[in-house]
Amino acid sequence: MDDTLNIESKLTEFSVETPSWGYADSGTRFGVFPQPGRPRDVFEKLEDAAEVHRLTGSAGSVALHIPWDKVDDYGELRAFAEGLGLTIGAVNPNLFQDPDYKLGSITNPDPRVRAKAVEHMIECVEIATALGSTAQSLWLADGTNYPGQDDLSARRVRLLDSLVQLYAVLPQEQELLVEYKPFEPAFYATDLADWGSATLICQQLGDRARVLIDLGHHLHGTNVEQIVSQLSTVDRLGGFHFNNRKYADDDLIVGSTNPFELFLIFNELIGSGRPLPRLTIDQSHNVEAKIEAMTLSILNLQESYAKALLVDREELAVRQLEGDVLGGHEILLDAYNTDVRPLWARVREAKGVASDPIADLRNGDYLTEAANRRAGLQPAGRKAST
């Protein structure tokens, strides 16, 4: 077991990216329920992210989605973020909303559409460079709905060919994170459906291509912590999209449905002996209060991480070697059942942030002031991006 000081210094360093899209209005297929004070552009999303960071001390970086967060002047955006004490995290190209992408983006049978998609990915590399970001994070909606709709092998060739073009222009300081998802929006064959497919592609691309695990992107029963272990062993684990689900890609607050899985994931991350990969939240808050949802997500991540740091790894190894089936399991339960909230309150206080972030948010003025400031449709004096 790490000693207390060592654990506290690890907690102090703990850092998670929050997603710009998790602050904005979002909804289901059936409706969108606008919330008072919701940010109207990326600048206001950054303001909300800064509030979450002020409360938790672990959320100093914000992932962006392009074109949702497109602006005319990225120098201005970067300076604005830095002024709030934030950095820009991974840049996510959006390859799923343009009508041209109806039959896929970089695997589309039409070479014109593929070229357009590659061009957008390259544009995102340039945007990341201007913003000081160090990652492209790629999720493809590409796939087919019916057997025979397209040639599976031809789509695989197009996928690699397009990504090779992207990887060729990726600056040294940027990495490529490749996300997978078994279904939705494609319901027969998704082009990057699982961690194996994503790993093969990364291995064909190069060392800076790594797999990103989204907790909502597995079929039921999948052992996600074992995927962590597999990918860590071959140094292909690039990062996480944290959220929680009960059914499919529900994008609910991380740790809300299956906190034990979250703990086991951190247990594998720490057990791998490697530095933590890029940790990002990927949630969309439809009925819950967005800033509170994000704050609670960070707190749940903080607590899972602390519990996993408490695992007595030496004793665990002894019991595993002895073949003590439940002895090892009980070591994990000991750590999981520890109340780490006082520990985190101490760490946050030492960092000068809130010891009780949710109470601080609820009792503070930020939410009311944001609702007052953001009553209109368009932020005053700021031009909408083109």
Return the range that interacts with Mn ion (CB under 5 A); candidates 22-30, 99-107, 219-227, 238-246.
238-246
With CB under 6 A as the contact rule, the residue among 175, 282, 303, 360 that binds ligand RM4 is: 282
Q: Please list every residue from 131 through 170 that binds ligand RM4, using CB under 6 A.
A: 139
Nearest CB to ligand RM4, comparing residues 125 and 270: 125
Q: What is the dihedral of CA 260, 261, 265, 271, to 10 degrees?
A: 50
- Contacts with 90 (C-beta within 8 Å, 6 or more apart), sequence order: 17, 63, 64, 133, 134, 135, 136, 137, 177, 239, 278, 280
Of 158 and 241, the one with the shorter C-beta distance to ligand RM4 is 241
Residue from 69, 214, 292, 360 touching ligand RM4 (CB under 6 A): that is 214
Token pair 């970089």: residue: 106
Q: Please report how close the Cβ of residue 214 comes to Mn ion at its closest, in angstroms.
A: 4
In the complex with ligand RM4, the residue whose CB is nearer, 139 or 195, is 139
Q: Taking CB under 6 A as the rule, does residue 280 contact ligand RM4? A: no
The site for ligand RM4, by CB under 6 A, has a size of 7
Residues 105/143, Cβ–Cβ less than 8 Å:
no
* Contact in structure between 172 and 206 (CB atoms under 8 Å): no
Identify the residue among 17, 225, 282, 292 touching Mn ion (CB under 5 A).
282
Nearer to Mn ion, 249 or 268 (CB): 249
Query: What does 92 interact with, of Mn ion, ligand RM4, none (CB < 5 to 8 A by kind)?
Result: ligand RM4
Q: Which residues make Cβ contacts (< 8 Å) with residue 203, sequence separation at least 6?
A: 209, 236
179 binds ligand RM4 (CB under 6 A): yes
In the complex with ligand RM4, which residue's Cβ is closer, 195 or 336? 195
What kind and span of H or E run contains 238? strand 237-242
The two most distant CA atoms of the chain are separated, in Å, by: 68
Task: Tell me the C-alpha to C-alpha distance, in Å, between residue 88 and each of 91, 263, 293.
Answer: 8, 27, 21
Task: Candidates 37-45, 249-257, 284-292, 365-373: pick the segment binding Mn ion (CB under 5 A).
Answer: 249-257
d(CA 237, CA 231): 5
Q: Which residues bind Mn ion (CB under 5 A)?
A: 214, 216, 241, 249, 282
Q: Which residues bind ligand RM4 (CB under 6 A)?
A: 92, 139, 179, 214, 241, 249, 282
